[in-house]
């Protein structure tokens, strides 16, 4: 039995993400949780003729039932950006939402993989980990910040500049975190291509601020949902392929707690950070190996340095939210 729970399943990301997960024969039970409308989304998806059973769970009183027995919990719950906002501006509302969902995971499915989409990812992942640590159920191999959209954008944007780069089958490593300057695509690792310094600069900027393109185009109606659903489904299925099917050698960039994760010592020492996104090999228990940062170009070294500076504050903010007590979730 592989039960996957989507928390925030009625939202802009939650609905298409659930639709994509409904296509997978790796999932036997898809449980859709939201504070609104999850029953309707579940009824609709349940008519699709694939193997998984779909159940809908609406409101806080049904959260425990939704989570019980979960193999994997994907969290796209919370508010998205509007033009003029940073991801950090979402902290005020989303921190409390993510904390409460993490607490419910600790109580109902302490061994589940937890995939965090809600922004600001740089801070919400530390929130989840701190909640699990407090509950004595933390396993660093099982909590992931979903940064796959940065990887997806990198493949697409590189292919638009270099048509010989096939976007579907070529992956780009993206390290750091998931907001602006903390997003560092390692274009120097694409060994089959060469770029001019101007191309590197323009591509890096576009990847770092790709989210803003969508926020601007949607003009107040939210941020990336469909591309995020595709990215979220890609990461979830990759993790299921590794953990359920036992497929080896699956590597994705993702934001993880470094200490205690296999292979992470080098990145822990070289960044001095508790959390960092890097290529991770996935396995039966989640993180099988955090790959060491490769040799970086001079520009990438400087970008990573800037990212580290910003990440320090983002991480501390998430940790302090739990350590110093945070009160009930607030409204924006
Ligand atoms: N990691 C990434 O790369 C990306 C992250 N995001 C983030 O994902 C989050 C969701 O974005 P959208 O789906 O566009 O927003 P949305 O507003 O369309 O959907 C959010 C859903 O969460 C639900 N929700 C609110 N509080 C909840 C709670 N306590 N428990 C369960 N569900 C709850 C809402 O009812 C709503 O259905 C935002 O924080 C956004 O910034 C968006 C794009 C990319
Ligand atoms: O830009 C946003 O707020 C949503 C997001 O994280 C992205 O699209 O990368």
Between the CA of 8 and the centroid of ligand 1 the distance, in Å, is: 6
Tell me if ipTM is over 0.90.
yes
- Interval 48-85: pLDDT, tens: 999 999 999 999 999 999 999 999 999 999 999 999 99
What integer pLDDT is reported at residue 225 of this predicted model?
A: 98
CA of 38 to the centre of ligand 1 (A): 13
Atom of ligand 2 nearest to the CA of 87: 3
Gap between the Cα atoms of 316 and 228, Å rounded: 26
Match 């979903």 to its residue by tokens: 146
Which pLDDT value is given to residue 148? 98
Q: How much distance in Å is there from the Cα of 195 to the middle of ligand 2?
A: 26
CB atoms within 10 A of CB 249: 9
Provide the β-strand partners of residue 312. Answer: none
pTM of the shown model: 0.98
CB 162 within 8 A of CB 193: yes
Residue 2's contacts (CB-CB under 8 Å, 6 or more residues apart) are 26, 27, 28, 29, 71, 72, 240, 244
Q: What backbone torsions phi and psi does residue 303 show, to the nearest 5 degrees?
A: -65, -40
* Tens digits of residue pLDDT in 305-326: 999 999 999 999 999 999 988 6
Distance CA 17, CA 307 (A): 29
And the tokens for 183? 């997003």
Instruction: CATH number for 147-326: choose from 3.90.110.10, 3.90.180.10, 3.40.50.1820, 3.40.50.920.
Output: 3.90.110.10
Q: Which fold has domain 3-146?
A: Rossmann fold (3.40.50)
Those residues whose C-beta lies under 8 Å from the C-beta of residue 276, and which sit 6 or more positions away, are 175, 176, 177, 255, 256, 258, 267, 311
Q: Which residues contact 242 (CB under 8 A, 6 or more apart)?
A: 248, 250, 282, 283, 284, 288
Break the chain into its structural domains and give their ranges. 3-146, 147-326
d(CA 165, CA 25): 30
Distance CA 145, CA 84 (A): 24
Instruction: With beta carbons less than 8 A apart as the criterion, state whether 170 and 157 touch.
Output: no
Does the beta carbon of 38 sit less than 6 angstroms from any atom of ligand 2?
no
pLDDT at 209: 98
**All residues at 6 or more sequence positions from 108 whose CB lies less than 8 Å from its CB, including other chains:** 63, 64, 67, 68, 70
Q: Give me the pLDDT at residue 330, please.
A: 56
Indicate the top mutation candidate among 81, 176, 212 to test ligand 2's pocket, ranked by most ligand atoms within 8 A of CB.
Answer: 81
Residue 119 counted as an annotated binding residue: yes
Give the chain's length.
332
Q: Is the CB of 222 under 6 A from ligand 1?
A: yes
140, two tokens? 């660093």
**Cα dihedral across residues 321, 327, 329, 332: positive or negative:** negative
Which pairing describes strands 251-257 and 275-283: parallel, antiparallel, or unpaired?
A: antiparallel
The residues annotated as belonging to the active site are: 178
Task: Point out the residues of the chain with pLDDT beneath 50.
Answer: none
Decide: 122 in ligand 2 pocket, CB within 6 A. no
Q: What share of the chain is helix, strand, coil (3-state, %, to 5)?
A: 45, 15, 35
Q: What is the pLDDT of residue 168?
A: 92
What confidence score (pLDDT) does residue 325 get?
80
Task: From residue 108, give the alpha-carbon distance in Å to each of 71, 99, 126, 136, 273.
Answer: 11, 14, 20, 13, 30
Supply 142's token pair: 């099982």
User: In terms of C-beta density within 10 A (0-12 exposed, 13-18 middle, 19 or more buried), how is residue 315 classed?
Assistant: buried
């Amino acid at each position: 039995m592989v039960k996957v729970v989507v928390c925030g399943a009625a939202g802009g990301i939650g609905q298409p993400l659930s639709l994509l997960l409904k296509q997978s024969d790796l999932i036997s039970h898809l449980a859709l949780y939201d504070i609104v409308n999850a029953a309707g989304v579940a009824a609709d998806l349940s008519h699709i003729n694939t193997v998984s059973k779909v159940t809908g769970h609406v409101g806080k009183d049904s959260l425990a039932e939704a989570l019980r027995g979960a193999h994997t919990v994907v969290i796209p719950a919370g508010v998205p950006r509007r033009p003029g906002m940073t991801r950090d501006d979402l902290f005020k509302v989303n921190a409390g939402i993510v904390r409460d969902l993490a607490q419910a995971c600790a109580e109902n499915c302490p061994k589940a993989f937890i995939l965090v989409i809600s922004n600001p990812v740089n801070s919400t992942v530390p929130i989840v980990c701190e909640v699990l640590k407090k509950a004595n159920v933390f396993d660093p191999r099982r909590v992931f910040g979903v940064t796959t959209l940065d990887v997806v954008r990198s493949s697409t944007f590189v292919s638009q500049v270099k048509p010989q780069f096939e976007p579907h089958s070529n992956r780009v490593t993206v390290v750091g975190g998931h907001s602006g300057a903390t997003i560092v695509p390692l274009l120097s690792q694409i060994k089959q291509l060469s770029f001019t310094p101007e191309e590197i600069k323009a591509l890096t900027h576009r990847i770092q601020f790709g989210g803003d393109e969508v926020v601007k185009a949607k003009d107040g109606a939210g941020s990336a949902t469909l591309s995020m659903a595709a990215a979220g489904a890609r990461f979830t299925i990759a993790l299921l392929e590794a953990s359920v099917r036992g497929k080896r050698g699956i590597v994705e960039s993702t934001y993880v707690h470094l200490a205690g994760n296999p292979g992470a010592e080098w990145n822990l020492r070289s960044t001095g950070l508790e959390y960092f996104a890097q290529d991770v090999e996935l396995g039966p228990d989640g993180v099988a190996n955090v790959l060491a940062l490769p040799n970086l170009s001079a520009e990438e070294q400087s970008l990573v340095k800037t990212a580290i500076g910003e990440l320090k504050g983002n991480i501390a903010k998430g940790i302090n939210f739990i350590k110093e007590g945070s009160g009930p979730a607030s409204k924006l």
